[in-house]
Structure 1
């Protein structure tokens, strides 16, 4: 169900919403003022571990595959170490560094303006499509392109088309090729198809994607296999397995945070004159957490605390567990739903939605009340139609951005 008035949906008064905003601001202030050596040590230690895993994986493949007796165990161990390295770099390091979570350290190596991650999408394009568009307009139909990534129908309000009958197949392909799907995300294929994309900007973005994708492919499927010498096939296969594992893992984590039952969608009317406190409330209602131990949370980029991440995307991820206790208490205080559950349950609900919405609404029953507005095709908004509101979401360096114009 898409919500057009969050305040009315939650039965909260203006003062209650503003008070909620003040209490969430107080949580932010407390974390900002308490950031220090322990937090810096955490991210530096994690980067060392991640790089150590990469070296260990390469050495295992290089040294362990020359003997017939150790070839298969070494290949499995090497690809596993490389997969762990890639998962850590993408989820807990790259994703969070580019959110600006560690900018306060003033370390040029671990700074959102400099980090280029080990995946096919250029950092600049990711920071626009993710930091600016997705986090600002979370789950707003017509604004947030992450609702289905342009190929999946993830809300009953989205108009059905026969092409969605293939949705389970598209979903499997998206999961397997996730880094390449994300690489094309900021192009906004729908606007290109409708002739609404600036050709010069599209050409510039495509050049970036081709260059980044080429470098990733050369690194994993040419340079490292050549260095492996006679065992180049084993190294290439290990790299492919590591990339596939990373792709599947990132896909599952992201879908568990945005598409289980309880993660609501919103109409354009909801964000008209939206206050900071109302933005906070929408983030809580539009995201979902999953339960797990410390290792699971680290490997998932601490996105098991997706609600907290959407409330405070630029605060250090290692503090989300601490923040979640306070956020959950506020949700109980104001009688706000706090969606959470085991990882397998959250993904199971997302997968069920993918399958159900591949067919017309009339063929299936809704798990929630029917939408208050009829299904329709909502035009994708351009940047000029997406106003900027929340300063903590970070900047992006696109040539036409206001930040660059001002410089």
Structure 2
């Protein structure tokens, strides 16, 4: 069942909710005050590593006619693409490194190596998803307009195809993300501003053309006779990045324990209640430093949703305090091994492809109130920590 009141769901008093909010604000203040040279060196080191991996992969692919070189070059290139998208691009566009005042690593300038324009990502992800996390009818990340991910979402015969839609979304993830900010539902209902839609489509077309020329024309051509091997290597690296990114993102939002909310929860929501919603609506996964690095530190998804603009290399440190808060106030802190989190997510996708079963222990959900998705000018004032975006350029 989707939650309409986080205070009631967590059995916390008003004073306890506000105390939790104050503790989390204190964590933010502490991290902001301690940002410095070590954090700067971290992100610069990761950017250097990513660029060296990409260069090594491109160079190796000059010998891609030999299978070991093809495999090595593809692996290096896929690793570079994953690092750029997950640990660098995603976090830079959240404004995690804006405090450095480095124009090359600033949220207003970073354009990442994927098909969705940065400005559209910053709107659909930073603003809509992070502000309205898991709120049915507001957060389009709940199923991405393709999958039914909550029992409170209406079932239709279309959902029988979820196993196929899920596989296609995983394989073509960057292309699905490219269309994410268009709001397909609004287009289908003819509620989308035609001028805005045209601007977005032109922007997407430009970005797609740039990515396609780079990966499937320019770099293959540079390797001369090896162009076909290089082209397949680039396609395989992009496919690998798609599958990895899909799995990491789904494991942060859809395992057991990551709950959904009705739009009633947004009514007069305080900052402390927003914090609670992020904690209840997100899920972590466990692993070593390499796994967390390659996932953009999104194994700490709870901490990321609480503090999306704080440096990602601090999430492990922050998680210790967040766990303590959850333990003291008896708030669920959803975490588990990566394979377990995805296994639960996959089971949910398969299960919700079918109509809800009505039993005493599993009653039919109360349908979410029918209401169109709000326009940006109708939504509540956005939170400053969610990162910047420019509606004019979207």
Given the two structures, how large is their TM-score scaled by the length of structure 2?
0.98
The question of whether the paired residues in 2 share the 8 Å contact of 1:253 and 1:303 is answered with: yes
Q: Which ranges in structure 2 are unaligned for 5 or more consecutive residues?
A: none
After TM superposition, the structure 1 = structure 2 runs for residues 70-219 of structure 1, keeping only pairs within 5 Å, are 71-219=66-214
Question: Aligned partners of 1:257, 1:150: CA distance in 2, in Å?
Answer: 18
- Runs of 5+ in structure 1 lacking a partner? 402-407
| Distance across 2 between alignment mates of 1:174 and 1:270 | 30
Is the alpha carbon distance of 1:369 and 1:386 closer, same or farther for their aligned partners in structure 2, counting shifts above 3 Å? Answer: farther
Map 1:269-308 to 2 at 5 A: 269-308=264-303
- Give deviations 1:340-373, integer Å, cap 9, x for gaps: 000000000000010010111128x79x854662
Instruction: Pick which of 374-383 and 213-222 moved more.
Output: 374-383
CA distance in 2, matches of 1:349, 1:78: 33
In the alignment, the residues of structure 1 paired with residue 362 and residue 380 of structure 2 have an alpha-carbon distance, to the nearest angstrom, of: 30
> 1:388: Cα distance to partner?
2.0
The answer to whether the 8 A contact 1:158-1:376 is kept is no
Paired residue for 2:234, among 227, 235, 239? 239
> What is the CA deviation profile of residues 326-348 of structure 1, one whole-angstrom value per residue up to 9, with x for unaligned ones?
00000001100000000000000
- 1:12-27 aligned at under 5 Å gives the runs 12-27=12-27
**d(CA) in 1 for partners of 2:253 and 2:75?**
27
For 1:338 and 1:117, the matched residues in 2 are separated by 31
The separation in 2 between residues aligned to 1:327 and 1:229, in whole angstroms, is 53
Write the deviation string for residues 143-173 of structure 1: whole angstroms up to 9, x where unpaired.
1010000010000010111111001100000
| Among candidates 362, 367, 378, match of residue 385 of structure 1 | 378
C-alpha distance in structure 1 between counterparts of 2:260 and 2:148, whole Å? 12
Aligned equivalents of 2:244 and 2:81: distance in 1?
Answer: 10
Superposed CA deviations along residues 84-139 of structure 1, whole A, max 9, x for unmatched, are: 00000000000000000000000000000000000000000000000000000000
Distance 2:212 2:367 in 1: 44
Match of 1:405? none
Is residue 10 of structure 2 the alignment partner of residue 10 of structure 1?
yes
Whether 1:222 aligns to 2:217 is yes
Whether the 8 Å contact between 2:107 and 2:388 is mirrored in structure 1 is: no
Between the aligned partners of 1:334 and 1:299, the Cα distance in structure 2 is 32
Q: State whether residues 153 and 367 of structure 2, in contact with CA within 8 Å, keep that contact through their aligned partners in structure 1.
A: no
Aligned equivalents of 2:100 and 2:147: distance in 1? 39
Give the structure 2 partner of residue 318 of structure 1: 313
Q: Distance in 2 between matches of 1:102 and 1:251?
A: 24
Q: RMSD between aligned alpha carbons? A: 1.5
Secondary structure of 1:124 counterpart: helix
CA distance in 1, matches of 2:380, 2:202: 27
The SS at the match of 1:135 is helix
- Secondary structure of the 1:361 match is coil
CA distance in 1, matches of 2:390, 2:58: 34
> How many residue pairs were aligned?
394
Counterpart for residue 404 of structure 1 = none
| Structure 1 residues 378 and 260: alpha-carbon distance in aligned structure 2, compared to 1, 3 A threshold | farther
Alignment partner, residue 44 of structure 1: 44
Q: Distance in 2 between matches of 1:378 and 1:237?
A: 45
| Pair 268,234 (structure 1): closer, same or farther in 2 beyond 3 Å | same
Counterparts of 1:373 and 1:395 in 2: how far apart (Å)?
36
Counterpart Cα distance in 2 of 1:399 and 1:331: 40
Aligned partner of 1:396 among 383, 389, 392: 389
State the match for 1:65 in structure 2.
Answer: 64
TM-score when scaled to structure 1? 0.95
Three-state SS of the structure 1 residue aligned to 2:372 is coil
Q: How many Å separate the matches in 1 of 2:229 and 2:145?
A: 35
How far apart, CA to CA, are the structure 2 residues paired with 1:7 and 1:183?
Answer: 36
Question: How many angstroms does 1:390 deviate by?
Answer: 1.6
Cα distance in 2 for partners of 1:113, 1:48 equals 21
